[in-house]
Structure 1
Amino acid sequence: MLKNPEQTIGTLIDKQGVSFISSIGEDGFPCTKAMLPPRKREGIKIFYFTTNTSSMRVSQYRANPKACIYFCDKRFFRGAMLQGTMEVLEDHASKEMIWREGDNMYYPQGIADPDYCVLKFTAVLGRYYHHFSSQNFDIE
């Protein structure tokens, strides 16, 4: 039994250099993409990612906000899947919140770059895999 999901999953997430996000395509099939780790997280309920407004993923989330994020610790063969919804945020405050030095390399116009946006994921439930078994848990 997973005694403290927020601590266990949070530690797993913080140690990963890659995260995976999934959206639903126009054809109804899931689409998964490797991303950099979230720029910010609030427990294991809310996560913020940076991406291009012009990306396929943004258009998919706008059409259908259902989403999934996954974190994998390949060294210990364990992982955490979180299901929920993804919002596309383009307001200045959200963009400024996760902006980092060096982001101008990707977004030359800075925080105001129209091709820069924030993905906000809100989890509703999770599934943790370790020791060759899986366990569902609620997100509080």
Structure 2
Amino acid sequence: MKDVEKTIGKLIDNQKVAFIGSVDADGFPNMKAMLPPRKREGIRTFYFTTNTSSMRVKQFLKNNRSCLYFCDRRFFRGVMLKGTMEVLTDNVHKELIWEEGDTMYYKEGVTDPDYCVLRFTAVCGRYYSSFRSEDFVI
């Protein structure tokens, strides 16, 4: 695949939903649909908002292995990224992706203790398009 980062970046940027995978206490995979990443750095690093009190945060604090999946339903293509998820509660990262209107979810604003940032760092992935899959390293 030519220009992996550009092709996959464009697919990601056009999606309204991101699927995030975590591992539960019994070792089973869990998948959750979330709003798209607030910020991304290439196809390696992605930032999401979530509630500190969420089940997913508890899972990531115990096991940081994770995956992201983005699906373009219109052309039936998608990308899975495998890597690790960090839970960030410092003000620098919280302010980095804070947006106007977030008080709908986090009443106390950017310093709300129930607001945190998930930072996903990819190490590899698999891209599907035109009835073919291709693995790649990031």
Return the offset for 1:133. 1.1
Distance in 1, matches of 2:105 and 2:3, equals: 37
Q: Deviations over 1:45-94 (max 9, x none)?
A: 00000000000000000000000000000000000000000000000000
SS at match of 1:51: strand
TM-score scaled by length of structure 2: 0.99
Return the offset for 1:3. 1.1
Partner of residue 52, structure 2? 53
SS at match of 1:26: coil
Distance in 1, matches of 2:132 and 2:42, equals: 23
- Counterpart AA for 1:132: F
SS at match of 1:38: coil
SS at match of 2:32: strand
Aligned residues: 138
Gaps of 5+ in 2: none
SS at match of 1:120: strand
Partner of residue 132, structure 2? 133
Tell me the C-alpha RMSD between the 2 structures. 0.4
Return the offset for 1:137. 0.5
Distance in 2, matches of 1:5 and 1:67, equals: 21
Q: Please state if 1:120 is matched with 2:100.
A: no
Partner of residue 44, structure 1? 43
Partner of residue 30, structure 1? 29
Partner of residue 69, structure 2? 70
TM-score scaled by length of structure 1: 0.98
Runs of 4+ in 1 over 4 A off after TM superposition: none
Distance in 2, matches of 1:53 and 1:5, equals: 33
- Counterpart AA for 1:96: E
- Counterpart AA for 2:129: H
Distance in 2, matches of 1:138 and 1:41, equals: 17
Q: Please state if 1:81 is matched with 2:80.
A: yes
Percent identical pairs in the alignment equals 67
Return the offset for 1:24. 0.3
